[in-house]
């Protein structure tokens, strides 16, 4: 069944709400006419009525003749989280993407963005004007931070309280559909970040129902969503239908599932598996593959293993280990969870295994952590060197652009984009955006605002951060987090943008790099711990790529045998065109069966990368 208000045409709308513990539920039509309509209950606790109501009608539900609240499955909250819901005609939008078949997961180059700070306007439609810039860069997929209706008009999105309603200040559901349609016309896929592990505190009227949460488990945000306790069936349906709604009616290509490690479900069929099965069924029905990408810090490959071997069938996951080791090697920071990282051989392991902790002892957690994911192909791991969490959860929201040198930024970009994994950029990374990305909210409850402020201070204490964090409630905190697009045309920012573009073009045009690796037998990586020099080779058929990455702050002399072939330099970050220190590496290095360049020594500049291509 369709939850919420579903316009049937001919001025008729079907209203459905799950409230099994309520004795009486009525539909209260608020505008344009004030009318109370009794609803009928079925055996599963769903209340339903079909009545005259056109798109634009405002309504709430009345429970037990007393309290009135917006629709838990509202598709639009035109006046925010505390006011009435609005009927939307889901079939009225004029889609023009019928020929769109999506982009395979292994071919994605993902660009994570926050709608409110990506443009000056902070709307869905304003993003459309930036699609040519992203395409020129080499991006083919955008990932949008959560847009479920949250309180106020500025928020990261993880305080959403209406999972089906699209944020009104961004442009609502029609604004999102307009963006998705434009993306598909431009050849760009869309990933939407959704939150199924908690709901925000303000405007969260689901607590009133007595069924959506359980005290059996505790999360960082309070009581857990009820996935396995009494009355969990309707909760599960609410979440599964939400995932399908984004695919079927908003044409989203993939969902990023936030913090699934905070989803507690000890039933025989985990909710992640149920979402996976429902998504696969819809993909078969529509004839286009929809993807699920989970965020988790468990390093547990069961999440992404096929259901047939006991996994949950999720297509891919964010892999934080890759980010963490790059960050520590280039910044030297080892506070908080970074204390588990720092050895250069961990970078080698990140390329080889994806996870760094594979049932290894974690000093930060003070226990063993993770498992070996070697049976999972690299295309199942989304990696980055920056994302909203790793930047925004720093006290000052400082990006790599303010933490490391220009040479190190180029090196980090190459480590990401030459990897065998699915790469993800965070908005502004490609030109070294100097503005921070800070944490911001616009709650209306003063006590809640103060609680957020104190909570942030406690988080930063673990990282030994000094000073005061910017006030998350202040509008200036939000405004300071907006991108400065003009910077990509200036000085080092322009050069960095062009360097990213060159790397992405290389990834697109070189067969050895054209997509995330489908197996772990099409690349090899070695490292020299003392010199902090990494050697990465990838191949596809007769095409080969060889990259040397120097994470040392000093030049490194290298003497290495090359595989058979004529190796031509494709990219060298130390070259003058990339505002480097100058390179002495040869443009061509031929090798034969009888003689290799192993007898010669070369010097690779500090914090630099050089890429060679060859064909046998």
For 555, how many CA atoms within 13 A lie in the half-sphere containing its CB?
Answer: 13
pLDDT at 347: 98
CA proximity to 327, closest of 416, 261, 396, 256: 416
pLDDT under 70: residue ranges of the chain: 461-466, 560-561, 592-600
CA proximity to 419, closest of 504, 341, 494: 504
Helices (H), 186-335: 232-250, 271-286, 320-331
Backbone angles phi, psi at 533, to 5 degrees: -115, 125
Residue 392 marked as a ligand binder:
yes
**3-class secondary-structure state, position 129:** coil
* 4-86 matches 522-615 in fold: yes
Two structure tokens written together for 256: 């990023």
Residue 432, CA distances (Å) to 174, 408, 486, 488 in order: 32, 12, 12, 8
Annotated catalytic residue: which of 86, 258, 265, 433? 258
Residue 390 marked as a ligand binder:
yes
CA distance 611 to 572: 6
pLDDT at 607: 97
Residue 551, CA distances (Å) to 103, 339, 343, 474 in order: 33, 19, 12, 39
CA proximity to 452, closest of 158, 12, 82, 24: 158
Which residue, chain included where needed, has tokens 């031929």?
Answer: 590
**3-class secondary-structure state, position 536:** strand
CA distance 206 to 303: 28
Residue 234 marked as a ligand binder:
no
Residue 388 marked as a ligand binder:
yes
pTM score over 0.85: yes
Residue 513 marked as a ligand binder:
no
Residue 421 marked as a ligand binder:
no
CA proximity to 197, closest of 153, 126, 287, 258: 258
Question: What percent of the chain shows pLDDT beyond 90?
Answer: 89
258 catalytically annotated? yes
User: Of the CATH numbers 2.30.40.10, 1.10.10.10, 1.10.150.120, 2.60.40.1180, which one belongs to the domain with range 522-615?
Assistant: 2.60.40.1180
Would you say 516 and 422 are in contact if contact means Cβ atoms under 8 Å apart? yes
Residue 114 marked as a ligand binder:
no
Residue 256 marked as a ligand binder:
yes
CA proximity to 146, closest of 131, 163, 130: 163
Q: Which CATH superfamily is domain 4-86 in?
A: Immunoglobulins (2.60.40.10)
Residue 317, CA distances (Å) to 349, 383, 421 in order: 17, 9, 11
Beta carbons within 10 angstroms of residue 440's beta carbon = 27
In this structure, the chain runs to a length of 616
Residue 599 marked as a ligand binder:
no
Two structure tokens written together for 309: 């071997």
Distance of CA 525 to the CA centre of its chain: 27
Which residue ranges make up each domain of the chain?
4-86, 522-615
Annotated catalytic residue: which of 143, 295, 430, 433? 295
Encode burial over 572-596: b for 16+ CB neighbours within 10 A, e otherwise: bbbbeebbbeebebeeebebeeeeb
CA distance 139 to 511: 18
Would you say 548 and 561 are in contact if contact means Cβ atoms under 8 Å apart? no
Residue 324 marked as a ligand binder:
yes
Which residue, chain included where needed, has tokens 């000052």?
Answer: 396
CA proximity to 513, closest of 500, 521, 526, 522: 522
Residue 538, CA distances (Å) to 356, 423, 428, 524, 541 in order: 20, 16, 28, 7, 10
Residue 229 marked as a ligand binder:
no
């Amino acid at each position: 069944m369709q939850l919420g208000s579903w316009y049937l045409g001919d001025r008729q709308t079907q209203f459905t709400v799950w409230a099994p513990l309520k004795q009486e539920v009525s539909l209260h039509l608020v505008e344009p006419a004030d009318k109370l309509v009794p609803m009928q209950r079925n055996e599963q606790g769903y209340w339903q009525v079909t009545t005259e109501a056109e798109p634009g009608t405002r309504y709430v539900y009345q429970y037990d003749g007393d309290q009135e609240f917006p629709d838990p499955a509202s598709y639009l909250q035109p006046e925010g989280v505390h006011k009435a819901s609005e009927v939307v005609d889901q079939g009225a939008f004029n889609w023009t993407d019928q020929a769109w078949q999506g982009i395979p997961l292994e071919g994605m180059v993902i660009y994570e963005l926050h709608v409110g700070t990506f443009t000056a306007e902070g709307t869905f439609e304003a993003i459309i004007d930036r699609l040519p810039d992203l395409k020129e860069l080499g991006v083919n997929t955008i990932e949008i931070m959560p847009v479920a209706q949250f309180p106020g008009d500025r928020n990261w999105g993880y305080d959403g309280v209406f999972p089906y309603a699209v944020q009104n200040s961004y442009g609502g559901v029609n604004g999102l559909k307009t963006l998705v349609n434009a993306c598909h016309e431009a050849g760009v896929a869309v990933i939407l970040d959704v939150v199924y592990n908690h709901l925000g505190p303000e405007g969260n009227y689901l607590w009133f129902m007595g069924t959506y949460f359980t005290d059996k488990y505790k999360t960082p945000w309070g009581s857990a969503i009820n996935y396995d306790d009494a009355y969990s069936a309707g909760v599960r349906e609410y979440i599964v239908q939400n995932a399908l709604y984004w695919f079927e009616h908003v044409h989203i290509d993939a969902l990023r599932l936030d913090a699934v490690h905070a989803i507690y479900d000890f039933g025989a069929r985990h909710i992640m598996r149920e979402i996976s099965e429902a998504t696969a069924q819809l993909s078969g029905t529509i004839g286009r593959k929809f993807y699920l990408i989970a965020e988790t810090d468990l390093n547990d490959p069961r999440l992404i293993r096929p259901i047939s071997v006991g996994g949950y069938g999720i297509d891919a996951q964010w892999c934080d280990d890759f980010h963490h080791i790059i960050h520590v090697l280039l910044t030297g920071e080892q506070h908080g969870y970074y204390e588990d990282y720092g050895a250069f051989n961990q970078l080698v392991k990140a390329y080889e295994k994806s996870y760094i902790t594979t049932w290894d002892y974690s000093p930060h957690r003070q226990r063993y952590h993770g498992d070996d994911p070697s049976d999972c192909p690299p295309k199942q791991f989304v990696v980055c060197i920056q994302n909203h969490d790793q930047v925004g959860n720093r006290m000052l929201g400082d990006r790599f652009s303010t933490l490391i040198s220009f040479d190190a930024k180029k090196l980090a970009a190459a480590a990401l984009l030459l990897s065998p994994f699915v790469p993800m950029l965070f908005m502004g990374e490609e030109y070294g955006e100097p503005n921070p990305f800070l944490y911001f909210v616009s709650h209306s409850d003063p006590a809640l605002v103060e609680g957020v402020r104190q909570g942030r201070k406690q988080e930063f204490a673990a990282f030994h951060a000094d000073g005061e964090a910017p006030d998350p409630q202040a509008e200036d905190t939000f405004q300071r987090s907006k991108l400065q697009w003009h910077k990509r045309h200036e000085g080092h920012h322009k050069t960095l943008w062009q360097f990213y573009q060159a790397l992405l073009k290389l990834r697109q045009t070189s067969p050895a790099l054209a997509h995330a690796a489908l197996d772990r037998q099409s690349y090899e990586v070695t490292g020299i711990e003392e010199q902090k020099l990494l050697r990465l080779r990838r191949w596809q058929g007769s095409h080969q790529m060889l990259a040397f990455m120097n994470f040392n702050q000093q030049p490194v002399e290298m003497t290495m045998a090359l595989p058979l072939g004529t190796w031509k330099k494709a990219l060298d970050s130390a070259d003058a065109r990339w505002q480097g220190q100058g390179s002495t590496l040869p443009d061509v290095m031929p090798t034969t069966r009888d003689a290799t360049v192993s007898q010669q020594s070369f010097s690779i500049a500090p914090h630099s990368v050089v890429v060679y291509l060859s064909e046998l």
